[in-house]
Amino acid sequence: MDFMDEGRQKAMDTKYIIWSPDGGYEPSELAEAKRIIDKGGLVAFPTETVYGLGGNGLQKEAARRIYAAKGRPSDNPLILHISQFCQLKEITRRIPDTAVKLAEAFWPGPLTMIFEKADCVPYEITGGLETVAVRMPEHPGALEFLEAAAVPVAAPSANTSGRPSPTRAEHVREDLEGKIDMIIDGGEVGIGFESTIVDLTGEIPVILRPGYITRQMVEEVVGETIMDPALLSVEGDVAPKAPGMKYRHYAPKAQMKVFCGSQTAVVSAINEAAERLVHEGVLPEEIGILAAEETAARYDVGQVVTSGSRKRDDVGRFLYGVLRRFDELHVKVILSESFYDSTREEAVMNRLLKAAGQQLVQVGDGDGVGDGL
Ligand code: TXA
Ligand code: MG
């Protein structure tokens, strides 16, 4: 199939199978997943971060299909997923000591590392780069699938490009039904946002994407790290080293604004903004409010959706599901609290601000840090 013709392709039958923590896979279904990967087809599978859209990581054609199914620009490279450390040797030119240490500490787990690529990794996978991203996920259903596939599996998040990453199989269905061969339903994921990416090709490790493994956790293992300067630039004037980070990912359909300041100031500013919108003719049900459980009852106007409790650190886990919920509710505007007090604040705020196209509103005199919002 020529991927340029994708738009004219007839929808295919997407097979739906289940992996469960108690029962695992039905053996014949896992064998079918392997056959699909062998043939260059696509299988969406659960990982501990978000669902991935998997294809044979050593085949150009599989890479083309992944880009076509997601509607993703092909300069945005894919992560190769492996189940055994020894696979790393085949797909990289050099394994630095820092990588061995990080793998010992965090693999399997939500950490992706960037290496110089071996010749067997096609440029279609790496978006033309000489480097390759590799991750060994921790989810037992993912590991069993990767073991069966027996090749490195290229897998971006299993969403249509520009939509929030999927944290449940239903989200994958919404975006990719009829465009891919199989969806493995492993229930709701545990973490809910994508892996931390660390580039190990230079002298000092560089964090390209914040995630569940924090910078501090990485530094405890390998010493000094650098944050990609693009992560710290609010104006978006610095090009990120991970090509995918330049896109307005994780985007809900509505316009979104994130309010930052003391808890009381944020609640009143959001209430005032909602009232102003109603005054301008926006219907109350067209206004979405993203709030933590603790403050949800303090909003007067609009559809409040909560992303769980700040105390349980739920926000990262449910954020993408909540953004999709706002799409279903057809809201036109989303007014969101900010979530600085999470231990994974960098990762969560990075996703939230991307969803909002970096629209951050500073309110009151608080600096928003450490005051409960
Ligand atoms: O948690 C995750 O990492 C999930 C699950 C499925 O494993 N995958 C995921 O893939 O988030 P994706 O394709 O949505 O994001 C991959 C990111 C992009 O920002 C891409 O630019 C970056 O990794 N990346 C991939 N290869 C790279 C490379 N060689 N150099 C720099 N950045 C790279
Ligand atoms: Mg993605």
Query: In whole angstroms, how far apart are CA 64 and each of 37, 287, 305?
Result: 14, 39, 37
Q: Which residue has the higher pLDDT, 281 or 344?
A: 281
Mutation pick for ligand 1 pocket among 50, 51, 79 (CB with most ligand atoms within 8 Å): 79
Integer Cα distance of 9 and 56 in angstroms: 21
Atom of ligand 1 nearest to the CA of 242: 32
Task: Indicate if the pLDDT at residue 64 is higher than 90.
Answer: yes
Atom of ligand 1 nearest to the CA of 49: 1
- pLDDT the model gives residue 226: 96
Please list, in sequence order, all residues whose beta carbon lies within 8 angstroms of the beta carbon of residue 368, skipping any fewer than 6 positions away.
260, 261, 262, 266, 338, 340, 362
CA of 77 to the centre of ligand 1 (A): 7
Do residues 102 and 113 lie in contact, with contact meaning Cβ atoms separated by under 8 Å? Answer: yes
Secondary structure, 3-state, 31-96: HHHHHHHHCCCCEEECCCCCCEEEEECCCHHHHHHHHHHHCCCCCCCCEEECCCCCHHHHHECCCC
Which ligand lies nearest the alpha carbon of 195?
A: 1
Task: Indicate if the pLDDT at residue 1 is higher than 80.
Answer: no
The closest alpha carbon to 339, from 361, 365, 364, 307, belongs to: 307
Dihedral over Cα of 345, 350, 356, 357: its sign: positive
Could you tell me if the CB of 244 is within 6 A of ligand 1?
yes
Atom of ligand 1 nearest to the CA of 165: 14
Which ligand lies nearest the alpha carbon of 134?
A: 1
Could you tell me if the CB of 52 is within 6 A of ligand 1?
yes
Task: Indicate if the pLDDT at residue 89 is higher than 70.
Answer: yes
Integer Cα distance of 56 and 220 in angstroms: 34
> Averaged over 53-58, what is the pLDDT?
98
Atom of ligand 1 nearest to the CA of 158: 6
Instruction: Give kind and range of the element (H or E) at residue 303.
Output: strand 303-306
What whole-number percentage of the chain has pLDDT above 90?
77
pTM over 0.85: yes
> Averaged over 67-81, what is the pLDDT?
93
CA of 53 to the centre of ligand 1 (A): 12
Q: List, for residues 130-141, the tens digit of each pLDDT value.
A: 999 999 999 999
**Closest residue by CA, ligand 1 atom 12:** 156
Q: Residue 355: is it exposed, middle or buried by C-beta count within 10 angstroms (0-12/13-18/19+)?
A: buried
Structure token pair of residue 200:
């190990």
Query: In whole angstroms, how far apart are CA 204 and each of 95, 224, 227?
Result: 14, 7, 10
Integer Cα distance of 189 and 206 in angstroms: 27
Which ligand lies nearest the alpha carbon of 123?
A: 1
